[in-house]
C-alpha cells in the first residue's frame, strides 16, 4: 500500500487544486480552491468555455462587471469539482474584503446563492475567509445562517482560538508558509519534520482543540514536503497539492506515526477572545502578522490576474 492510501486511512485527504484532471487522478474526499489556484485553473483549455459563460452571465446581470464574472467563474469551477469529489469544495471570498465584515458576509451569500442556483446545496460548500478579526466575525454570522466556513491564512493559536469560539466549521492552519518565515528569519535550512515550526504549530492547535472538544475541524494546509504531511497524519483533514499527492502515491514505504490520538481532556475555557486581545496577540506574533498580511496581498494579486484574464477573454 502506498503512503497516500495509508494516509487516507488516518486523515481525510483534500486536493489543494482546481485542476479537474488532478482531482480525478488522486480521488480526494474534498477539494480547496483560492484565487491563486483559480487563476492557474482558468488558464487550462477545459475551462475556456467557463470563462466565456461567466462573462456573458455578468454582462446580462449588468453592474459588477469583471468582479461579478470572477465570482461566477469560481462557482462554475467549484461545480465541476463537486461532480467528482464526494465531499465539499472551498470557495474563497474576495481577499480585498478581508477587513470588511459586512461586505464579506454579502459576498459569501452571493456565492452560496450561485451554488444553489446551480443545484448545489450549501452543505457541500465551505466559504473561505482570511483569519482576520473581520473574517472571523463574518464567519460567525454566516455559520448561524447554515453557511459553513473555512478560515484560511491561519498562522497562530490566537487566530485558532478565535475561530473555535466563533463556531467556525473548519480552519486551515498553514504549515509551509510558517516554515518559510522561520527559514528566512533564522537563516537555518535544516529543519526536519520533528522540529518544523509549521508542524509544531498545527500540532499545538490540534491538541488544543481536541483536549477541549471543540468541534471545529483542523485541516493542515500549505505543505512544502511530504515529511510535513506524514508528521501530521491523523489530523482531521489535510489539503495537499497534486505534486505532493503524487510523491505520496509513488512511495510504498511505511507512513510515519503522525499525530497522537491520546490527548488528555481539559475543561474548555469560557469564550474570552475579544477583539482587543485578538489584535494584541496577533500583533505580538511577528510571524503570524507578516504571513497573514503577505497572504492577503498575494491572494489579491492573483485575484487581479484572474480578472485580467477574464478581461482578455472578452
Mean pLDDT of the chain: 96
Tell me the mean pLDDT in the region 197-226: 98
Distance CA 96, CA 302 (A): 11
> Are the beta carbons of 196 and 179 closer than 8 angstroms?
yes
Compute the C-alpha angle 302/245/306, nearest 5°: 15
What is the per-residue pLDDT for 62?
73
> Please, which pLDDT band fits residue 271 given cuts at 50, 70 and 90?
confident
Which residues, listed in sequence order, are joined to residue 42 by a DSSP beta bridge?
A: none
> Please, which pLDDT band fits residue 63 given cuts at 50, 70 and 90?
low
Distance CA 159, CA 202 (A): 12
Q: Give the list of residues 6+ apart from residue 15 with CB closer than 8 angstroms, or none.
A: 22, 23, 26, 28, 30, 31, 32, 85, 239, 240, 242, 245
What is the DSSP-derived secondary structure letter of residue 239? E
Domains of the chain, start order = 3-312 (3.20.20.70)
| 174 three-state secondary structure | strand
What is the per-residue pLDDT for 64?
64
Please state which of the ranges 95-104, 248-257, 269-278 shows the lowest mean pLDDT: 269-278
Distance CA 28, CA 298 (A): 26
Question: Model confidence over 117-167: pLDDT tens digits?
Answer: 999 999 999 999 999 999 999 999 999 999 999 999 999 999 999 999 999
Instruction: State the CB neighbour count (10 A cutoff) for residue 53.
Output: 14
Cell numbers placing 89: 469544495
Question: For residue 71, what are the CA distances in angstroms to 60, 63, 124, 125?
Answer: 14, 13, 17, 14
> Are the beta carbons of 179 and 227 closer than 8 angstroms?
no
65 pLDDT more than 90: no
Torsion of CA 290, 295, 198, 251, to 10 degrees: -150
Cell numbers placing 8: 487516507
What is the per-residue pLDDT for 46?
87
Which residues, listed in sequence order, are joined to residue 174 by a DSSP beta bridge?
A: 221
| Catalytically annotated residues | 128
Chain centroid offset of residue 142 CA: 17
Q: Between these two residues, 312 and 25, which has the higher pLDDT value?
A: 25
What is the per-residue pLDDT for 122?
97
Distance CA 14, CA 192 (A): 24
Question: Model confidence over 213-261: pLDDT tens digits?
Answer: 999 999 999 999 999 999 999 999 999 999 999 999 999 999 999 998 8
Amino acid at each position: 500500500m502506498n503512503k497516500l492510501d495509508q494516509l487516507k486511512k488516518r486523515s481525510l485527504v483534500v486536493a489543494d487544486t482546481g485542476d479537474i484532471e488532478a482531482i480525478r487522478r488522486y480521488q480526494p474526499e474534498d477539494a480547496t480552491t483560492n484565487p491563486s489556484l483559480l487563476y492557474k485553473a482558468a488558464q487550462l483549455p477545459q475551462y475556456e468555455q467557463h470563462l466565456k459563460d461567466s462573462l456573458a452571465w455578468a454582462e446580462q446581470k449588468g453592474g459588477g462587471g469583471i468582479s461579478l464574472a470572477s465570482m461566477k467563474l469560481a462557482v462554475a469551477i467549484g461545480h465541476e469539482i463537486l461532480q467528482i469529489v464526494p465531499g465539499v469544495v472551498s470557495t474563497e471570498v474576495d481577499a480585498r474584503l478581508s477587513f470588511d465584515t459586512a461586505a464579506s458576509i454579502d459576498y459569501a451569500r452571493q456565492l452560496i446563492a450561485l451554488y444553489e442556483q446551480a443545484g448545489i446545496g450549501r452543505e457541500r460548500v465551505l466559504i473561505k475567509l482570511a483569519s482576520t478579526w473581520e473574517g472571523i466575525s463574518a464567519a460567525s454570522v454566516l455559520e448561524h445562517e447554515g453557511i459553513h466556513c473555512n478560515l484560511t491564512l491561519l498562522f497562530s493559536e490566537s487566530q485558532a482560538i478565535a475561530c473555535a469560539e466563533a463556531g467556525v466549521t473548519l480552519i486551515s492552519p498553514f504549515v509551509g508558509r510558517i516554515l518559510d518565515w522561520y527559514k528566512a528569519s533564522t537563516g537555518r535550512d535544516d529543519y526536519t519534520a520533528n522540529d518544523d515550526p509549521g508542524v509544531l504549530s498545527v500540532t499545538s492547535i490540534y491538541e488544543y482543540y481536541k483536549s477541549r472538544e471543540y468541534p471545529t475541524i483542523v485541516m493542515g494546509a500549505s505543505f512544502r514536503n511530504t515529511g510535513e504531511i506524514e508528521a501530521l497524519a491523523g489530523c482531521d483533514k489535510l489539503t495537499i497539492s497534486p505534486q505532493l499527492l503524487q510523491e505520496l502515491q509513488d512511495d510504498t514505504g511505511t507512513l510515519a506515526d503522525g499525530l497522537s490520538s491520546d490527548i488528555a481532556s481539559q475543561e474548555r475555557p469560557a469564550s474570552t477572545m475579544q477583539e482587543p486581545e485578538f489584535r494584541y496577540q496577533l500583533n505580538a506574533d511577528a510571524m503570524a502578522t507578516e504571513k497573514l498580511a503577505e497572504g492577503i496581498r498575494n491572494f489579491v494579486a492573483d485575484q487581479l490576474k484572474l480578472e485580467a484574464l477574464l478581461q482578455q477573454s472578452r
